[in-house]
Amino acid sequence: MRPVISTSELADLLNSEHPPTVLDVRWRLGGPSGRESYHEAHVPGAVFLDIDGDLAGEPGPEGRHPLPDSEALQRTLRAAGVSGSRLVVAYDDADGSVAARAWWLLRWAGHDRVAVLDGGFAAWRSEGRPVSRETPRPAPGDVVVRPGALPVLDADGAAELARNGVLLDARAPERYRGEVEPVDPRAGHVPGAVNAPFSAHVDDAGRWRPPEELARHFAALGVRADTPVGAYCGSGVTACSVLLALELAGLAGPERPAALYAGSWSNWVADPTRPAATGSEPG
C-alpha cells in the first residue's frame, strides 16, 4: 500500500465501519514533550506513543534510539490497539520525519498496513478537522511482532554500503559537514555517506513531494533503481523518512527495501576508533 495517506482519506476512514488505529508520535529533539501536545489536542481516537520510551530501546552504545525489544514492542502496540489486519496511521507535528519511525518500525515488525499522515497534525488542524483532548482506551490489539521484515545495518554494514552503494545521511547539512553537533560527542559523517536532509522530502507546508520530484532528487544523489541504498541520521529516527521517501519515489519497496542504520551517528561515534569525515563531500 502507499505509505502516505491524506487528511481527507483519514477523515473518511475514521467515519467508516472499520476505522484505522491512529498513533500520535509527536516528538522533538530537545523538547518540549510531544505528550504535552497530545493532551492539549489530538486526532480523535489517537493513542500517544513516545519515541523514547515506546518505540526505542534503552540508549547506550547501540545508539540513542536503538531498536526496541520485540516482546516489549508487541506489548506496547497491542496496548495501543494495533492489530495485524487493521490499518495503522501515524502522525507527528507536520513533516512526517518522526511518524516515519513508527511506519518503519511496524513494517520491520511484519505489519504491512501502515501509513503516515501527509502534513501531520498541523495539516489536520489547519483544515478545521475535529480534535479531542480525551485519552482513548482502545481494545487490546492482536499484532504479532516478527522482527526482521526490513533490513537493518550495523556500523560495519553502514561503512560497506558507503563504499559499495549509497548511504544517505538524513541530518541537516551543517551537522553532516561537522560544523555543529548538538547531541553527540563528535561531529561529522560516516566516510562516503551522501547528505540527504530529511527536510528536502516535503514542501513548505510539510506535505510529501510528488514521486517524480523525489525520484529526481535521489537520482542527483546517485541513487538508481539497482543501487543498494540505506540511510542514517543522528539516532535512527528521521532517517526513516528517507526510506519512506525512497519508497514514494519508486526506488525502494517490499521487494527491494532500503536499509536503516538503526544506531546511526550516535552508534558510530560510540567507538572512538571509527573515522569521522567532515566537509560537504562524502570523503
Residues involved in catalysis: 233
Residue with grid cell 481494545, as numbered in its chain: 139
The C-alpha cell at 142 is 492482536
Instruction: Note if the bond before 61 is cis, omega within 30 degrees.
Output: no
Distance CA 122, CA 186 (A): 34
Sign of the Cα torsion 170, 111, 113, 38 reads: negative
Distance CA 90, CA 7 (A): 12
Residue with grid cell 506513543, as numbered in its chain: 49
By three-state DSSP, how is residue 230 classified?
strand
CA neighbor of 203 nearest in space, from 126, 115, 96, 43: 96
The C-alpha cell at 122 is 498541523
CA neighbor of 158 nearest in space, from 26, 22, 266: 266
Distance CA 62, CA 151 (A): 16
Burial call 224-237: b when 16+ CB within 10 Å, e when fewer: eeebebbbbbbbbb
Going through 12-147 in order, the beta strands assigned E by DSSP cover 21-24, 47-48, 88-91, 114-117
